[in-house]
Amino acid sequence: EDKVVQSPLSLVVHEGDTVTLNCSYEVTNFRSLLWYKQEKKAPTFLFMLTSSGIEKKSGRLSSILDKKELFSILNITATQTGDSAVYLCAVERSNDMRFGAGTRLTVKP
Task: Please name the residues in contact with 26: beta carbons below 8 A apart, sequence gap of 6 or more.
Answer: 2, 3, 70
State the minimum distance, in angstroms, from the CB of residue 89 to other proteins: 9
Q: Which is closer to other proteins, CB of 41 or CB of 68? A: 41
The residue among 50 and 62 lying less far from other proteins, judged by its C-beta, is 50
Q: How many CB atoms lie within 10 A of CB 53?
A: 10
Separation CA 82–CA 106 (nearest Å): 9
By CB under 8 A, name the binding residues for other proteins: 4, 29, 31-32, 34, 36, 41-45, 48, 50, 88, 90, 92-102
Cβ nearer to other proteins, comparing 17 with 67: 67
Nearest partner of 98 among 20, 36, 42, judged by Cα: 36
Contacts with 65 (C-beta within 8 Å, 6 or more apart), sequence order: 33, 49, 50, 51, 52, 53, 54, 71, 72
Query: Rounded to the nearest whole angstrom, what is the least distance from the CB of residue 85 to other proteins in the complex?
Result: 14
* Cβ closest to other proteins, residue 59 vs residue 109: 59
Nearest-approach distance from CB 75 to other proteins, in angstroms: 20
